[in-house]
């Protein structure tokens, strides 16, 4: 078995926002993000690109048939607010009868769990124990679940269920988070995007480039421009101490983006 590992919200945020020329969400074997909450909760809102894990009439989690889990780099499961790997329903045994897929029984069925009540705490762990039988890498369980993640990253929730390939191609990643809610690393496009500045509450930027750019329209925000030539032979070691000190001073008061 691949095992289970708790995943901090910042880790899932960074997984969702990795990119090369395009977002890595366009790669079919990059991320399988699964929502173990009820249908009602999922329909109200969920994390972008997440698909809901379904139950059979006996209340057993079903492995998604459209995903080759053994090929997926990241398999992440979340429920409402699970924050540990404890599972009161797990007895340590996994059955695989006549080649059928192992399952984990939970209270209720697909029909009952779709009603007004929320998914029970620990649902993500129960679901992950099913999935780990098929993954090559450990299954990640989002610590604090949907509630904690969306409290930090409300802009990454949606009601959208189906994503077309061209929509994933057009998805614009956010900067990578280095220190939660304090320090981010991105590119020029992200630095100039007023929506990203608003969502991440960016109040200061370090611009490491040859040209000075107008990145803020608000004069109260802070900008440090470090002029360097765009060349592989340029080293910024001599400037590192000054940059670090400036970021440290800003981090006590505001959120900073380095690009």
pTM across the whole model: 0.85
Q: Which CATH class is domain 4-170?
A: alpha beta
Q: Say how far apart CA 192 and CA 97 lie, in whole Å.
A: 56
Integer Cα distance of 154 and 150 in angstroms: 4
Encode the chain (259 residues) as per-residue pLDDT tens digits. Answer: 679 999 999 999 999 999 999 999 999 999 999 999 999 999 999 999 999 999 988 888 999 988 999 999 999 999 999 988 876 555 554 444 333 344 443 434 454 444 446 777 789 999 999 999 999 999 999 999 999 999 999 999 999 999 999 999 999 999 999 999 999 999 989 988 999 999 999 988 888 877 766 666 666 678 788 777 666 656 666 667 777 787 877 776 778 888 7
Tell which CATH classification among 3.40.50.1970, 1.10.1040.10, 3.90.190.10, 3.40.50.720 matches the domain 176-258.
Answer: 3.90.190.10
Q: What angle, 0 to 180 degrees and rounded to 10, lies between the N-to-C axes of helices 9-16 and 145-152? A: 70
Distance, CA of 32 to CA of 72 (rounded, Å): 7
pLDDT at 97: 32
pLDDT, residue 90, reads: 54
Q: How far are the Cα atoms of 194, 203, 207, 243 from residue 216, in angstroms, in the given order?
A: 8, 9, 12, 19
pLDDT the model gives residue 242? 73
Domain boundaries, the chain: 4-170, 176-258
Minimal CA–CA distance to 153: which of 175, 138, 133? 175
Say how far apart CA 202 and CA 113 lie, in whole Å: 40
């Amino acid at each position: 078995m691949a095992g289970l590992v708790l995943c901090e919200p910042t880790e899932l945020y960074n997984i969702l926002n990795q990119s090369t020329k395009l977002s890595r969400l366009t790669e079919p074997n990059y991320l399988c993000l699964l929502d173990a909450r009820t249908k009602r909760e999922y329909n109200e809102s969920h994390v972008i690109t997440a698909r809901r894990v379904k139950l059979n009439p006996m209340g057993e989690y079903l492995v998604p048939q459209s995903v080759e889990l053994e090929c997926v780099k990241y398999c992440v499961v979340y429920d409402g607010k699970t924050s540990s790997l404890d599972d009161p329903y797990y007895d340590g045994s996994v059955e695989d009868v006549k080649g059928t897929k192992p399952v984990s029984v939970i209270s209720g069925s697909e029909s009952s769990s779709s009603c007004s009540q929320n998914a029970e705490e620990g649902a993500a762990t129960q679901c992950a124990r099913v999935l780990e039988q098929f993954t090559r890498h450990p299954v990640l369980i989002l610590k604090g679940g949907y509630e904690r993640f969306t409290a930090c990253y409300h802009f990454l929730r949606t009601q959208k269920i189906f994503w077309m390939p061209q929509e994933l191609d057009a998805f614009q990643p956010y900067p990578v988070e280095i220190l939660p809610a304090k320090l981010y690393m991105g590119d020029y496009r992200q630095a100039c995007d007023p929506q990203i500045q608003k969502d991440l509450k960016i109040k200061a930027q370090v611009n490491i480039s040859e040209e000075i750019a107008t990145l803020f329209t608000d004069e109260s925000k802070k900008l440090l421009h470090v002029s360097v030539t765009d060349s592989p032979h340029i080293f910024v070691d001599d400037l590192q101490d000054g940059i670090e000190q400036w970021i440290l001073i800003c981090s006590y008061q505001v959120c900073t983006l380095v690009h």
